[in-house]
């Protein structure tokens, strides 16, 4: 199956075998239309022909863009020219964008909108004077990408033959800067072989069909969506629908009627909450109806899937198949399937991937999926790759049947002054199972008790108060002692089955959500704990300003 060792070979084979078959659906002024593989290829060849005049093989090319058709065209064109794609997460600030561009030394940059061009122009004096800046949308400060696509390429064969001859499994395909949940982002080098082997492994573990249609909404600048949505789509010759935005995913699925969709636990929790708000969550086909009626399953990654979400979607006959991986592993290490799925587990290792559990329970892995290293950072590389094994930084275990269970990240594990090791993600999943708690972050490292920042579900709270005939303001007064008493009781209930030292003794209710725009969440919607700790340092310290109660919670 799929013997190709480069993504270019994979794409060229797909064009040859499926040229006139519909490949991708994108929205134009709210209306979806399809393009065939041949139409996509024509745009890729046009863009590659222009790009090849500005970059040499192995040189970095930056793309700063939200998900859109042009993102995919650029990715494939960069690969065809044998350059290295450096996608930058669209929500990053100008300073963050500049730092990554300066670190990789790119001399060509694609930007999606005026707002993204602004970020690059803001620090242009610190970038190469010959930087070639191209914009997908009209902007007089940049070349229009539309002209690149208008160029007709009579013979793409020279580009194709050069790529066939010179690219191999060891060729660098991309440089990805990590999300930085616990520190400064590092440049992860991934090769053609890393990505093709991971694509093969995913499809071997989770067989799919060329008749499938997947809707993508996770950022393609993150390796989860890039491998598991984009490259598996090319390998299969199936259809891919690009959601117009995060906010439009459900409406887009109503139109496109996908057979599967990749998401993160935060998204699936929002789906469950939305169904509860509509009063349809208990209906047998609620999830199917919401997503267009053709779903086979969902896949989840990026963070641990809470058991209550696993249970709910399984009861709805649309199971969530959880996987596990990191940017450094292309990303998938293990994945569940319809035949091999277990509550709380992240599936089994995919083809050609080995897993070993270290003496301290850290998960180690080796195989063709592991990056060659961090860009220009041999010291950081040697810290995580030792004797051929990649040290993931996650705690976990394998059960007797080979299922992998994740306990949490080593750097996120809370160690109290009493020496107790606590996995905050598990407690946070218990808290947010309650419909009145939208988000939670548990704190307690080097402290003698746990506290939490809680973001209430304000709509759910308003409904709860109305149902109980409470006088309410809009939004509800979170500082009101009666409101706090509601959350105190619910926190106690949600943590009723955990140990005494895992109880949250104090909490603060926050009016604002943790968001990507605030820098408090990564593009894959994981908490950036260090940023949240800094932003709410005053509130956190206030929760430790006097002796904690011996029992129960207190605000």
Regarding whether 492 and 387 lie in a shared domain, the answer is no
Indicate if 176 and 324 belong to the same structural domain. Answer: yes
End of a domain among 340, 370, 396?
396
Longest Cα pair distance anywhere in the chain, in angstroms? 77
Candidates 88, 72, 28, 65; CA nearest to 244 is: 28
- Flag whether 535 is in a domain: yes
Contact yes or no for 295/287 (Cβ under 8 A):
yes
CB of 472 closer than 8 Å to CB of 481: no
Is 554 contained in some domain? no
Do both 298 and 430 map to the same domain? Answer: no
Assigned domain for 548 exists: no
What's the predicted TM-score (pTM) here? 0.86
Domain co-membership, 377 together with 515: no
- Are both 375 and 468 inside the same structural domain? no
pLDDT of amino acid 474: 65
239 and 92: one domain?
yes
Question: Could you tell me if residue 407 is inside a domain?
Answer: no
Q: What is the CATH number of the domain that holds 432?
A: 3.30.300.30
Domain final residue pick, 365, 396, 427:
396
The reply to whether 454 and 375 lie within a common domain is no
d(C-alpha 102, C-alpha 94), whole Å: 12
Alpha carbon distance 71, 225 (integer Å): 12
What Å distances lie between residue 143 and 90, 149, 303, 340, CA to CA? 19, 12, 39, 50
Residues 366 and 513 in one domain: no
How many independent structural domains does the chain possess?
2
Residue where a domain stops, chosen among 396, 424, 453: 396
Contact 302, 229 (CB under 8 A): no
Q: Which residues of 291-322 are buried (b: 16+ CB within 10 A; e: fewer)?
A: bbeebbbbbbbbbbbbeebbebbeebebbbbb
- Please check whether residues 101 and 230 belong to one and the same domain: yes
Q: Are 61 and 83 in contact (CB under 8 A)?
A: yes
Q: Which of 97, 77, 103 is nearest to 175 (CA)?
A: 103
Tell me 457's DSSP state: -
- Shared domain for 338 and 443, answered yes or no, is no
Distance (Å, rounded) from C-alpha 385 to C-alpha 336? 26
pLDDT at 552: 45
Residue 286 within any structural domain of the chain? yes
**Block means of pLDDT (10 residues each) for the chain, length 555 residues?**
78 97 95 98 96 96 98 98 97 90 95 97 86 97 95 86 97 88 76 98 94 97 97 98 96 98 92 93 97 97 90 97 97 97 97 97 97 96 97 95 92 85 90 95 93 94 84 74 94 93 95 91 84 94 75 47
The C-alpha atoms of residue 296 and residue 293 are separated, in whole angstroms, by 9
Residue 161's domain spans which residues?
7-396
Say if residue 139 is in the same domain as residue 240: yes
**How many whole angstroms separate alpha carbon 359 and alpha carbon 436?**
40
Let me know whether 303 and 209 are in one domain: yes
With both helix axes pointing from N to C terminus, report the angle between 7-18 and 69-80 in degrees, rounded to the nearest 10. Answer: 120
**Residue 537 belongs to some domain of the structure:** yes
CATH number of the structural domain spanning residue 198: 3.40.50.12780
- Per DSSP (E only), the strands in 317-468 are 320-325, 332-335, 348-349, 354-357, 362-366, 373-374, 385-386, 389-398, 404-409, 414-415, 421-422, 437-443, 450-456
């Amino acid at each position: 199956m799929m013997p190709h060792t480069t993504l270019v070979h994979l794409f060229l084979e797909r064009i040859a075998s499926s040229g006139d078959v519909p490949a991708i659906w994108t929205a134009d002024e709210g209306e979806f239309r399809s393009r065939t593989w041949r139409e996509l290829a024509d745009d890729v060849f046009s863009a590659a022909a222009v790009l090849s005049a500005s970059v040499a093989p192995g040189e970095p090319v930056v793309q700063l863009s939200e998900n859109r058709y042009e993102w995919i065209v650029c990715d494939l064109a960069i690969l065809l020219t044998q350059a290295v794609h450096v996608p930058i997460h669209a929500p990053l600030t100008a300073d963050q964008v500049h730092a990554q561009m300066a670190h990789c030394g790119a001399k060509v940059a694609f930007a999606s909108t005026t707002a993204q061009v602004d970020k690059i122009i803001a620090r242009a004096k610190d970038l190469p004077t010959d930087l070639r800046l191209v914009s997908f949308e009209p902007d007089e400060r940049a070349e229009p990408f539309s002209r690149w696509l208008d160029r007709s390429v009579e013979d793409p064969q020279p580009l194709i033959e050069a790529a066939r001859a010179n690219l191999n499994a060891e060729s660098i395909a991309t440089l990805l800067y990590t999300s930085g949940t616990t520190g400064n982002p590092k440049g992860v080098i991934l090769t053609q072989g890393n990505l093709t082997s991971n694509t093969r492994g995913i499809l071997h573990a989770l067989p799919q069909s060329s008749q499938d249609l997947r809707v993508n909404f996770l950022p393609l600048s993150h390796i989860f969506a890039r491998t598991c949505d984009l490259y598996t789509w090319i390998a299969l010759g199936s259809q891919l629908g690009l959601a117009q935005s995060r906010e439009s995913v459900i409406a887009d699925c109503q139109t496109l009627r996908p057979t599967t969709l990749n998401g993160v636990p935060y998204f699936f929790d929002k789906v469950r909450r939305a169904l509860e708000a509509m009063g349809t969550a208990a209906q047998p086909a609620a999830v199917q109806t919401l997503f267009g009626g053709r779903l086979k399953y969902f896949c989840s990654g990026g963070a641990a899937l809470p058991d209550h979400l696993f249970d709910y979607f399984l009861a709805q006959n649309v199971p969530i198949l959880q996987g596990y991986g990191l940017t450094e592993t292309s990303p998938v290490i293990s994945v569940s399937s319809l035949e091999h799925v277990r509550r709380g587990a992240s599936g089994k290792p995919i083809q050609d991937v080995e897993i070993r559990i270290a003496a301290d329970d850290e998960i180690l892995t080796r195989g063709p999926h592991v990056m060659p290293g961090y860009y220009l950072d041999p010291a950081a590389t040697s810290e995580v790759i030792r004797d051929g094994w990649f040290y993931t930084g996650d705690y976990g275990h394998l059960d007797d049947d080979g299922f992998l269970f994740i306990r949490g990240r080593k750097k996120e594990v809370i160690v109290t002054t009493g020496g107790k090791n606590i996995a905050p993600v598990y407690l946070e999943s218990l808290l947010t199972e309650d419909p009145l708690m939208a988000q939670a972050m548990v704190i307690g490292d080097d402290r003698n008790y746990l506290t939490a920042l809680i973001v209430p579900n304000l709509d759910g709270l308003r409904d709860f108060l109305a149902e109980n005939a409470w006088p309410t303001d809009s939004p509800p007064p979170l500082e009101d002692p009666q409101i706090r008493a509601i959350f105190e009781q619910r926190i106690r209930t949600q943590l009723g089955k955990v140990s005494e030292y895992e109880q949250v003794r104090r909490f603060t209710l926050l009016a604002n959500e943790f968001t990507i725009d605030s820098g408090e969440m990564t593009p894959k919607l994981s908490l950036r704990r260090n940023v949240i700790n800094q932003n709410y340092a005053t509130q956190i310290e206030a929760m430790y300003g006097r002796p904690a109660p011996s029992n129960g919670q207190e605000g």
